[in-house]
Structure 1
Amino acid sequence: MKKTRDFNFKKFTVSQDRATHKVGTDGVLLGAWTNIINEGFVLDIGTGTGLIALMLAQRTTPNVIVHAVELQKEDAEQARANVNQSPWKDRIMIHNQSIQEFKPEIKFDLIVSNPPYFINSALPPAMERSIVRHTQSLNFEELMHAAKRLIQPSGRLAVILPWQESQVFKNISGQQGFHCIRECAFRSRANKPFERALMEFSQQQSFKVTEELVLHGEGEQWSDEYKQLTKDFYLKI
């Protein structure tokens, strides 16, 4: 079997040969786009390889502690290995359990998640991948219940979802008392429909900031906006 290659970023490396959920644009987008905090606690729900937790650790000061929850054992082990070889191994804690069973003694100032999102589609053949990408193990209502239980009253929740599912998620978040205060509509090319929505929620209502982001400019070149967003991470920028 061919070994899945490591993904090298400027300040850390993500090994992913054992991980169900590989490094992808969604995770990089969320890790780079999320508004950071520089004190307190961060929670990454469904960390996979640990990518987003590592990106947020890189972007924050040593005062910030990142907790990362991962249900799948092999993914959690891979994330732990990636964290241990990073500069932030003392600031990131990996928890191999479901978010429903995660009951820390602290509340979080920032919660991030690249959650399961295939609500009504047919399951893929690999059960592990179906768990990662379908809402069987963590549906949107359960994610919002967990966020409400674990977040500080002034805290924020940031997620990325396909465009269609993001509209469903916004309705569910509103039912749980969360307001969408920032949203970025993302598409791969200017002539394509929106493909992803990056959203930030708070229990405190405020003026909503709306943004748009295109991945490619001309040809296969990344747009200037995408390069600016991710320049601290990708080696080729």
Structure 2
Amino acid sequence: MQRLTLAVIEDLTKDDFLGGKLRVYQPRKGYRAGVDPVLLAASTPAKPGQTVLELGCGVGVASLCLAARVPDLSLTGVELQDDYAELARRNALENNAMLKVVNADLRRLPAEVRQQRFDHVIMNPPYFDRTASVAAQDAGRDVALGGDTPLADWLDIAARRVGPRGYLTIIQRIERLPEVIAALEGRLGAMILRPIAGREERAPELFLLQARQEGRAAFRMAPVLVMHKGKVHAGDKESYTPQVNDVLRSGAELPILP
């Protein structure tokens, strides 16, 4: 296992999430977690005592936000990049969260993960198709935003790890919705889609999607989640809607189907 070098450790920020309930170390440069993993965690319907697998956990923000809201979870995170995996372990320790971090390529999961099925699988996979986008200059950011693992592989691996009556919850860019639905069709059911728009009367840019193992309910569309108040940006102060503010600042639950 590669450890963080002193140079990398010195080039970190310690950032607040959930209104300061979590303090998380992140690289100052490279991929930095924002609101998306917080929304992902808030939309995961986990209950105390259940098992959760996060694929591509980065520095652990989604899993740690989920742990802050739901006690007594058994959390496992898989992260390809050594430095990010090590930061996720450090963040779990400093936030008193029981998160086991596995440093591995999700296409070559160790036996300890492949032999398990989980109540919940969550993921915030790379948003951009590497074959149709330009690589980022920072290697860590490039893996997080594009990487070389096709989205179909992420979804196939995730579906295999969802246990009986378990859930997959994913956040992704809206243009990749057809890929997601196609990859899950016939694998998981009871899909619920929740588009995410920046403001009123704007087209959604992201979506949350939840699907269930052995789910038989018809496909459903939830109301659009609007992130900011008003139709235009006004000033530098935050303008999150009350619901989104409760999620980001208080760790509130965000049911995918209100």
Count of aligned pairs between the two proteins: 229
Q: Compared with structure 1, are the counterparts of its residues 188 and 129 closer, same or farther at alpha carbon in structure 2 (3 Å cutoff)?
A: same
Separation of aligned partners in 2, 1:180 and 1:115: 21
Question: Mind listing any 5+ residue stretches in structure 1 that lack a counterpart?
Answer: none
1:118 touches 1:133 (CA, 8 Å); kept in 2? yes
1:33 touches 1:229 (CA, 8 Å); kept in 2? no
Question: Mind listing any 5+ residue stretches in structure 2 that lack a counterpart?
Answer: 1-6, 253-258
Q: Compared with structure 1, are the counterparts of its residues 20 and 95 closer, same or farther at alpha carbon in structure 2 (3 Å cutoff)?
A: farther
Q: What is the SS of the residue equivalent to 2:27?
A: coil
Q: For residue 98 of structure 1, what is the aligned residue in structure 2?
A: 105
Q: What is the SS of the residue equivalent to 2:90?
A: helix
What do the CA deviations read for 1:98-124 (whole angstroms, capped 9, x no partner)?
A: 112223232100000000121121222
Q: For residue 224 of structure 1, what is the aligned residue in structure 2?
A: 242
Q: For residue 77 of structure 2, what is the aligned residue in structure 1?
A: 68
Q: What's the RMSD between the two structures over aligned residues?
A: 2.2
Q: CA deviation at 1:157?
A: 0.5
Q: For residue 186 of structure 1, what is the aligned residue in structure 2?
A: 196
What do the CA deviations read for 1:128-177 (whole angstroms, capped 9, x no partner)?
A: 322221151x2222112212321102111001011101232112211x52
Separation of aligned partners in 1, 2:222 and 2:174: 14
Q: For residue 181 of structure 2, what is the aligned residue in structure 1?
A: 170
Separation of aligned partners in 1, 2:96 and 2:105: 26
- Are residues 1:127 and 2:127 paired? no
2:120 touches 2:167 (CA, 8 Å); kept in 1? yes
Aligned pairs for 1:22-171 (under 5 A) are 22-62=32-72, 64-88=73-97, 91-102=98-109, 103=111, 104=113, 105-119=115-129, 120-136=132-148, 138-171=149-182
Q: For residue 8 of structure 1, what is the aligned residue in structure 2?
A: 16
Amino acid at match of 1:171: A
Structure (1 or 2) with the greater helix fraction: 2
Q: Give percent identity, aligned residues only.
A: 24
Amino acid at match of 2:242: D
Separation of aligned partners in 2, 1:101 and 1:37: 29
Most deviating of 107-116 and 208-217: 208-217
TM-score w.r.t. structure 2 length?
0.81
Separation of aligned partners in 2, 1:233 and 1:40: 19
